Amino acid sequence: MKREVRNGFTLVELLVAALILYIGVMGISLSFNNGILYTTRVREVSIAVNAAQAEIEMLRNTAFSQIVSYSVPGSRLPTGLSNATISVLVDPYLYAGMKRITVTVRWRSYLGKSLQKSLATVVTEGGISGK
């Protein structure tokens, strides 16, 4: 009796191949998802740092006696951050004629998590040139 030769794949072989393909596709999909999450987070932090830096630069061009703590009005809040607030805290520093400025930007990420970024600097009564 002659054995019949069949060409093709068995059902088990097809299921194993489909499983391997599924695992590969899911791995790539998760990589893209994580990339999007990280890119969005970096964009939000970049917007927050730029907003804080802009406030610090504005204060550097303000008369020393007029530098006080405040909250940034809504018209100057950065676009691209959800529920953003900016607060400026001014404290006397180590020596007379110096103030420490801390600018804090708070926002809610698109995932709903509350985030914040702070920048600090010291200004002197005489400015950078010391005059």
Domain range for 86: 11-124
Q: Give the CATH number, domain containing residue 35.
A: 3.30.1300.30
Q: Is residue 129 part of a domain?
A: no
Burial 65-81 (b: 16+ CB within 10 A, else e): eebeeeebeeeeebeeb
Q: Is residue 2 part of a domain?
A: no
Query: Model pTM?
Result: 0.75
User: Is a pLDDT exceeding 80 seen at residue 3?
Assistant: no
How many distinct structural domains can be found in the chain?
A: 1
CA dist., res. 15 & res. 3, Å (int): 26
Q: Is residue 114 part of a domain?
A: yes
pLDDT tens track for 75-130: 888 888 888 999 999 998 778 889 999 999 999 988 889 999 999 999 988 776 55
